[in-house]
Amino acid sequence: MKNDSGAQKQTIAAKTGVKTMRRELMIDHLKEIFGDTGEKIRVFFAPGRVNFFGGHDDSNGMPALGCALPLGTMAAARLRSDRMIRVCRLNNKEGIREFSLDDDLENGKQDNWFDFFKSIFWIFLQRGCELPCGLDVVMEGDIPPRAGLALSGSLEILTAWILNEMYELDGINARQLAVLAHRAETEYVGMSCSIIDQFVPAMSKAGNAMFLSTTRLSAEHIPMHLQDLELIVTDSRIRHRRDEAENFVRRKECEKALNKLKVVANIHRICDLDTDRFESMKDVIMNDTYTRRAYFLVYEKARTIRAVSALRVNNMKRFGELMSISHASLRDDYEISCHEIDYLVDQAQNMEGVLGSRMTGGGFGGSTISLVRKDAAEAFRETISRNYRERFGLEAEFYTVTPDDGARELL
């Protein structure tokens, strides 16, 4: 049986007029929920992201390569005359959530969307920004939750963009907003993520991948000439909740590997080593698990740099090959995949017309990203949908995406 839901979603995401229509609907929603009088209503959008390479261990200097998605989070906002922040997320049934800018924002962390939203107010106030009045906000999005597409990063950057624009704050650029939003997630919410989750939604450019140095916090746009190719996100619908604990374990394992390597090398991070130097001294680690973790970091950095070179010369065949090699190392060396994701990647890699496939996001579920010839895309979705349903009893969701712009106001 043909699965049309993914094709419908990717078609909707591809239509440029959709955001314009949604803008008007968001304005209507805000008026309906919070009233039809007051200041001017403005509408903003921030995308989600996929990571093609890297994005797993910033502390060890791993670079990352990703792009923004047409999928994202949209919000309508209006200034209030008091100090109250009122927000309604249309995607759920929680109704209106609110707090005062004079509240102790340290309280009430629940690890849900409201805390990601509230964390941005907390970090702006920590920075000393003047937030003179409250806001009414209505938001919605089409990023599936816990699909490895940076829903939290999209929500955080959207909120930061709203504050920066609505309060007319001076001297905060997109890069600084990304840094602040990353701090908000790690320090306020207490979730560990790569800063690519904030940089890509904040700073992306349509038609380009973003090459991010996590040591210099600098981003470079690299054109992606897809032409007869499609980028297809496949959502496994697997939502493992152990990824944060497991990723903490990975960081500790890498820390132990680094401490061993420091005995024989003057380095600050594992990715300070190139592959040759790592191979010459890896035996000092003396632990197979820690060695494999370090191996992944060093070789993923090399793959990321090679992938950037492949994009520069439009060698998409090589780019896809590197994606597939990356997944094998994520599965075997860093061990953050799962059976369902591995099955989707294996199915993709063995299909005609697929140049490469790997997991995307933090791991232990979520989504894959595949580079597919356009003439093979329909067969890709139909075959994988059927086989995945038969193997696991689950319905995969598909999104055909193109590299999109970062956060912006919708005018």
Active site members: 197
Strand (E) or helix (H) holding 235: strand 229-239
DSSP class of residue 189? I
Q: Find the farthest-apart pair of alpha carbons in the chain and give their distance in angstroms, rounded.
A: 69
Amino acid (1-letter code) at residue 45: F
d(CA 62, CA 248) in angstroms, rounded, equals 16
d(CA 323, CA 306) in angstroms, rounded, equals 11
In this structure, what are the phi and psi dihedrals at residue 195, rounded to the nearest 5 degrees? -70, -10
Q: Is 175 helix (H, G, I), strand (E, B) or coil?
A: helix
DSSP class of residue 262? T
Return the number of other C-beta atoms located less than 10 Å from residue 182's C-beta.
Answer: 24
Amino acid (1-letter code) at residue 407: A
HSE-CB at 89 with a 13 A cutoff on CA atoms is: 17
d(CA 53, CA 55) in angstroms, rounded, equals 7
Alpha-carbon torsion (401, 405, 409, 411), positive or negative: negative
Q: Are 398 and 372 in contact (CB under 8 A)?
A: no
In this structure, what are the phi and psi dihedrals at residue 214, rounded to the nearest 5 degrees? -80, -10
d(CA 384, CA 395) in angstroms, rounded, equals 10
d(CA 326, CA 360) in angstroms, rounded, equals 11
Cα 343 from chain centroid (whole Å) = 22
In this structure, what are the phi and psi dihedrals at residue 184, rounded to the nearest 5 degrees? -60, -45
Q: Are 114 and 334 in contact (CB under 8 A)?
A: no
d(CA 41, CA 136) in angstroms, rounded, equals 9
